[in-house]
Amino acid sequence: MEELNVTASAVISFAEKLEDTSSELYEELAERFAAHKETFLAFAKESRKNKVLVTRTYQETITDALEACFSFAGLNLNDYAVQKVSAEGMNCPDALQMAVELEEKASRFYSDVARRSHSLLATIPGAFRRVAEVRNKRKLELQSLLKQGH
Amino acid sequence: MAILEEPIKETLELRNYINGEWVKSEGSIEEVINPATGKVLGEVPISTKNEINAAVEAAKAAFLDWRRTPPLARVRCLFRLKELMEENFEELSRIQTMEHGKTIDESRGETRRGIENVEVAAGIPSLMMGYNLEDIAAGIDEYLIRQPLGVFGIIGPFNFPFMVPLWFIPYALATGNCTVVKPSSEDPISQIKIAELAEEAGIPPGVYNVVNGGRTVVSGMLDHPDIAGICFVGSTPVGRDVIYRRCGETGKRVIAQCGAKNFLLVMPDADLEGTIATCMTSFFGNTGQRCLSGANLVIVGEGLNEREYNAFYKKVVEAFVDAASRIRVGYGLDEKVQMGPLRDRSKKERVIGFIETGIKEGATLRLDGREVKLVGDWPHTCFLGPTVFEDVTPDMTIAKEEIFGPVASILRAKSLDEAIEVIHNSPFGNAASIFTTNGKWAREFQYRVACGNIGINVGIVAPMAFFPFSGMKNSFFGTLHGQGQEVIRFFTESKVVIQRWF
């Protein structure tokens, strides 16, 4: 079902779930693929920090005077939805590819919500932009691991 | 997307908080009702004159020690209160949604704004400082000190049950005064929760008191000789004709922040996308129940010929109506919802009365909020959708009188001068905004418009806690405003000392 005119609360809740899903995935990957354990654990930790950054920025910035209910006109959260992912039964290249796709979607989500809410939600778009950069950087790192034939 | 969990699960028996004790009132009881669901949240007492007197006596007695407590020690209580508010942020916010009806984003925003006042008041050791000059004459020094006055009465409105009393309470306490708070009996639970946190924060008994009730409690405050001043937020008739007048008669200080009819001007060079989003918050945020809400949208044709102006006017109106028609209305704990219900049925009926008057007086109804479709299956008792009128003229009732609901009136003005004249013909002077990218128009607007809170590309001109919440004409009665440095002056008296040592 399409969701238009999404509220800030809904976007933040979505971001929280996205980071939780990511964190769980990377912890699983860390257990299964020892060669990249440190990288995956760092990503999991980073996702927990992303969640804190976004939710803390929202909670510390939100006021009734901001356009919190009207900053995301036309946004469809389904476009960025990530079902609970698992690498069970996957080999390392396939798992890495899945992770790349997750990072692409996440980076796109954060970039889109930052752009839509720019100048309407004070410092909150800045937090979205920071996490978009983090997720994009991860995507590049994962792609590099894939190219190296892991 | 499910409804967020409700923190209030059973009917609360609300008590007064007097002298550090939770006291069962001897007064009659009224129900506190969730306007979205119709469920009873609590029972609030309508306290008696004895009870308000008891609270004032307790506050007066507590003042003796509290006034002698060093400012730094006083603000440490506020630091603890702030931490407790942060820890309970989400619960406090959801309670506001349940008892008032506003969306969860709006409630969280209100919680944040309330906490900001506690934070600013914690700067009292610096903010309360006086000043001095040595040798005003040889060997004689002069200095000014600021001293607290005693007990203040705070009368809260229904529309911001958590935040508005915090425009005053933290500053009153930080400067060494004691307070007696009367929450709105429509949604008192937020103030009861704050009192619980204040108790936990270690604010001494008697320094901070809460007495629930209605007119009897207000009259008791106004008549009590030991109340030094009153802070009130509410309607103009009550603020001007009851509160301000009686304070004048009894020599009390007063802040009375009252009604409004706010104008938002859209100039030909406005950024339309940003303007429309901002207007949605302004006109329909908090379901229009806000003294800073937009009421009249004036589309200004400065520098345009007739054909150009008609095209511009149509573009703005269609964008406005389209955006308003998409607003999702429902229970504020549903994260999909952008606008909640009105606070109660009588307010809804009052707003419907204005809609009917608008139609009768010849305005064109472009969007009819009476035909609202809700998100979720809720009783329609208090719900009304966004309503938009165009072809409104300044002499119409809906353009002149405060509606306090989700009704937008669209007017025309050929020039900025004409628009400013329309604003000045209003008896209110709370807020006004201009949407433009032209600095000259913006400066002209800021310079000339006689309203206390001016927005330039801002639809809700809500001052931060370190600025005063201004207001003029029939929107404000008093001299000093709430929040910021002005409210510190309100809660203190200046004492001048001249000293010489022989």
Q: Work out the average pLDDT over A61-77.
A: 89
Tell me, what DSSP letter sits at residue B6? Answer: P
Statement: residue B74 has pLDDT above 80? yes
pLDDT at B30: 98
pLDDT at A73: 84
A6: closest chain B residue by CA: B336
Q: Work out the average pLDDT over B70-86.
A: 98
Q: Work out the average pLDDT over B21-29.
A: 98
- Taking contacts as CB-CB distances below 8 angstroms, the residues of chain A near B323 are 70, 73
Average pLDDT over chain B, rounded to an integer: 97
The B-side interface with A (CB below 8 A) comprises: 1, 89, 102-106, 108-110, 112-113, 160, 163, 274, 277-278, 280-281, 285-286, 290, 292, 323, 326-328, 335-339, 458-462
pLDDT at A4: 62
B129: Cβ–Cβ under 8 A, 6 or more apart, which residues?
Answer: B146
The C-alpha atoms of residue B200 and residue B303 are separated, in whole angstroms, by: 60
**Nearest-by-Cβ selection for A69 from B160, B292, B338:** B338
Helix-then-strand count for chain B, H and E: 17, 25
The percentage of residues in chain A with a pLDDT greater than 70, rounded to a whole number, is 96
Element (H, E) at B498: strand B492-500
Q: Work out the average pLDDT over A77-89.
A: 85
| Range list of H helices, A33-123 | 37-61, 92-117
Measured between alpha carbons, how far is residue B20 from residues B15, B97, B181, B195 in Å? 12, 28, 14, 9
Contact, B405 vs B288, CB < 8 A? yes
Contact, B406 vs B307, CB < 8 A? no
Higher-confidence residue of A125 and B1: namely A125
Residues B453-464: tens digit of each pLDDT:
999 999 999 999
Contact, B429 vs B472, CB < 8 A? yes
Of B231, B247, B258, B291, which residue is the catalytic one? B291
The C-alpha atoms of residue A18 and residue A103 are separated, in whole angstroms, by: 10
Q: How confident is the model at residue A2 (pLDDT cuts 50, 70, 90)?
A: very low
Q: What are phi and psi of B322, to 5 degrees?
A: -60, -45
Q: How confident is the model at residue A5 (pLDDT cuts 50, 70, 90)?
A: confident
Q: Which residues is B12 bridged to in the sheet?
A: B42
pLDDT at B1: 58
| Sheet strand arrangement including B40-46 | B12-13, B40-46, B28-33
The C-alpha atoms of residue A81 and residue B260 are separated, in whole angstroms, by: 43
Contact, B288 vs B457, CB < 8 A? no
The C-alpha atoms of residue B345 and residue B35 are separated, in whole angstroms, by: 8
Q: How confident is the model at residue A88 (pLDDT cuts 50, 70, 90)?
A: confident
Contact, B261 vs B398, CB < 8 A? no
Please provide the distance, in angstroms rounded to a whole number, between the alpha carbons at the two ends of chain A.
Answer: 38
- The reported pTM is 0.95
Residues B392-430: tens digit of each pLDDT:
999 999 999 999 999 999 999 999 999 999 999 999 999
B279 tagged catalytic: no
Q: How confident is the model at residue A150 (pLDDT cuts 50, 70, 90)?
A: low
User: CA B34, B37, B42, B48 torsion: positive or negative?
Assistant: positive
The percentage of residues in chain B with a pLDDT greater than 70, rounded to a whole number, is 100
B334: Cβ–Cβ under 8 A, 6 or more apart, which residues?
Answer: B1, B3, B4, B375, B376
The b/e string for B208-237 (b: 16+ C-beta within 10 A; e otherwise) is: bbbbbbbebbbebbbebeebbbbbbbbbbe
| Coil vs helix vs strand at A72 | strand
Mutation target vs A (from B105, B162, B284, B331; most A CBs, 10 A cutoff):
B105
CB atoms within 10 A of CB B1: 15
pLDDT at A85: 76
Cβ-defined contact of A69 to B286 (cutoff 8 Å):
no
Q: Among residues B81, B109, B77, which one has the least CA distance to residue B93?
A: B109
Statement: residue A149 has pLDDT above 90? no
Residues B283-322: tens digit of each pLDDT:
999 999 999 999 999 999 999 999 999 999 999 999 999 9
Cβ-defined contact of A64 to B285 (cutoff 8 Å):
yes
Q: Among residues B413, B397, B478, which one has the least CA distance to residue B445?
A: B413
The C-alpha atoms of residue B209 and residue A76 are separated, in whole angstroms, by: 48
- Taking contacts as CB-CB distances below 8 angstroms, the residues of chain B near A66 are 109, 281
Cβ-defined contact of A68 to B105 (cutoff 8 Å):
yes
Cβ-defined contact of B112 to A8 (cutoff 8 Å):
no
Residues A131-147: tens digit of each pLDDT:
999 999 999 999 999 99
Cβ-defined contact of B106 to A13 (cutoff 8 Å):
no
Residues B182-199: tens digit of each pLDDT:
999 999 999 999 999 999
Q: Is A54 on the interface with B (CB under 8 A)?
A: no
| Coil vs helix vs strand at B327 | coil
Statement: residue A1 has pLDDT above 90? no
Cβ-defined contact of A65 to B281 (cutoff 8 Å):
yes
Contact, B418 vs B304, CB < 8 A? no
pLDDT at A84: 65
**Nearest-by-Cβ selection for B335 from A4, A10, A61:** A10
**Nearest-by-Cβ selection for B106 from A3, A64, A120:** A64
Q: How confident is the model at residue B263 (pLDDT cuts 50, 70, 90)?
A: very high
Cβ-defined contact of B326 to A6 (cutoff 8 Å):
no
pLDDT at B78: 98
Q: Is A60 on the interface with B (CB under 8 A)?
A: yes
The C-alpha atoms of residue B170 and residue B165 are separated, in whole angstroms, by: 9
